[in-house]
Amino acid sequence: MLEHWGYLRNQGADTPWLPRCHAELCFLDLFPSWPLDQEKQYRLTWYISWSPCPDCVRKLVEFLKKNSHVSLCIFAAHVYTYIHGLRDLRNAGAQLAIMTRNELQHCWDTFVDSQGQPFEPWPNMEEQIQEQSQQLQTILRNPEN
């Protein structure tokens, strides 16, 4: 399968002439221009700083329902505690996980303009990853919240 690499970033925070738009929604605007065969299956892998916000979740759920030929795997560094939305996203077929140290380093090496600086794990990084991962699993597992 042909792989596409690249990144999108939030628009409008540092460019006042553009309307504010999260990277997830920038992707949804870009997606229709891709010449994809609806008879084939496609897997998208996203590495994002934070799990999607409520507005993005709602639109991503709609997107996944309309595009059954696309699966989405999201690796986030941090999780918003938008409980029902994250469950809705998972129930729409998205896979959700917290990035591991190796995935964080991969993002640094692949997408960050690091000016040649090596990836530097921060203090307590492994513990924070475990806490974020546990928080996400609790959200996805516990239907009572």
> Closest Cα to residue 82, out of 135, 44, 130, 131?
135
Identify the pLDDT of residue 3: 52
What's the predicted TM-score (pTM) here? 0.85
Give me the chain's average pLDDT, please.
87
Digit-coded pLDDT (tens) for 2-17: 455 677 777 766 667 6
Q: Which of 3, 24, 127, 144 is catalytic?
A: 24
Cα three-residue angle 69-23-25, rounded to 5 degrees: 55
Active site residue 39: no
Question: What are the structural domains, with CATH classification, of the chain?
Answer: 41-141 (3.40.140.10)
Question: For position 15, what pLDDT does the model report?
Answer: 67
